[in-house]
A and B are shown apart, each in its own frame.
Chain A
Amino acid sequence: EVQLVESGGGLVQPGRSLRLSCAASGFTFDDYAMHWVRQAPGKGLEWVSGISWNSGSIGYADSVKGRFTVSRDNAENSLYLQMNSLRAEDTALYYCAKGRLGELSRPLDYWGQGTLVTVSS
C-alpha cells in the first residue's frame, strides 16, 4: 500500500525558514517523480514544486521560485521542501504527492494527508 506521510509543518514568523519532509513507502521510490502541492485555507490546489525520479528535472511555481528548494533522498525514500523567506501567503496545507511515472509531467496518483504551515507574527 502506497503511503506518504508529511511532517515538519508548524507556526513560523514571516521571513523565517521551515523544512518539510515526506516519508514514502509501499512503492519503489526512485522510479517516480514526486511533488509538493499546497492548499490555502478554503482555497484550491496550487502546485509548488516537483522533482523527477533521479533529480535531473526540477520545477517550481513562480510564487516560490528562489525561496523554496525541493530535494529527495532515494536511499531514505524521502522527499523534502526547504522553505526560506516565508510569507503570510505561504500559509497552507502542504501535500506530498507521487507522480504516476518518473517524469514531472505525469499525473499525481497518490497524495499524503498534508502538513499545515502557518506563517504569522
Chain B
Amino acid sequence: QSVLTQPPSASGTPGQRVTISCSGSSSNIGSKTVNWYQQLPGTAPKLLIYSNNQRPSGVPDRFSGSKSGTSAFLAISGLRSEDEADYYCAAWDDSLSGPVFGGGTKLTVL
C-alpha cells in the first residue's frame, strides 16, 4: 500500500489530453512540493516534473503539473505513442522523514 494514491491505469488516443491524479496527506503533498517520474518500459525512471510544475531541461511542454491541497495532477497534452509508460508521483513526507512514491499509473496510448 503506497503512501500516495494514484489510479493504476489511464488511457487516451493520440492527440488527446490525459490527466493523472495523485492523492496524499498533510504530511506530504499538503506541505511539500510534488515531483513526477516517467518510467518507459524496461528503463530507469526519469524526472519529468519537479516542484509541482517545473520541467527539467529537455522535457516537452506537453507535460505539466499542478497541485491543490493534498492532491497533485500530471497533465499530458497532444498525447503521443511514445508517452506510453508508467508515471509515478512523489513527495517528501515529514512523518516518515523520506520521500514517498505513488503506486504508479500505467498510461496506454490507444
Most A Cβ at <10 Å: residue of B88, B98, B104: B98
Please name the 4 residue pairs, one residue from A and one from B, whose CB atoms are nearest each other, closest first. Answer: A107-B35, A111-B44, A107-B50, A105-B92
Given contacts A44-B2, A45-B88, A107-B90, contact A60 B45 (CB under 8 A): no
Query: What's the dominant secondary structure at chain A's contact region?
Result: strand
Q: Name B100's contact: one of A47, A50, A107 (CB within 8 Å).
A: A47
C-alpha gap A100/B47 in the complex (Å): 10
A59–B90 touching, CB < 8 Å:
no
Shortest CB distance A23–B (Å): 15
Partner pick for B98 among A59, A109, A112, A114, CB 8 A cutoff: A59
Chain A residues within an 8 Å CB radius of B92: 104-105
Q: Which residue of A lies closest to B33 (CB)?
A: A107
In the bound complex, what is the Cα–Cα distance between A50 and B92 (angstroms)?
12
> Which residue of chain B has the shortest Cβ distance to A99 in the bound complex?
B99
How many chain B residues sit at the interface, stated as a range, is: 20 to 34
Which A34-62 residues have C-beta < 8 A from chain B? 35, 37, 44-47, 50, 59-62
Does any Cβ of A come within 8 Å of B24's Cβ?
Answer: no
B32 CB contacts on chain A under 8 angstroms: 105
Question: What string of 1s and 0s marks CB contacts (under 8 Å) between B78-105 and chain A?
Answer: 0000000010101010001111111110
- CB closest chain-A residue, reference B34: A107
Say yes or no for A95: interface residue by CB 8 A criterion: yes
| Residue B60 at the chain A interface, CB threshold 8 Å | no
The interface size of chain A toward B, counting residues with CB under 8 Å, comes to 23
A120 touches B (CB below 8 Å): no
Give bound CA distance, A107 to B46, whole Å. 11
B56 touches A (CB below 8 Å): yes
A114 and chain B: residue at smallest CB distance: B44
In contact, A44 and B45 (Cβ under 8 angstroms): no
Residues of A within 8 A of B97 (CB): 59
Between-chain CB contacts (< 8 Å), 14 pairs: A45-B101, A45-B104, A47-B99, A47-B101, A62-B96, A104-B92, A105-B32, A107-B47, A107-B90, A108-B35, A108-B37, A108-B47, A110-B47, A112-B44
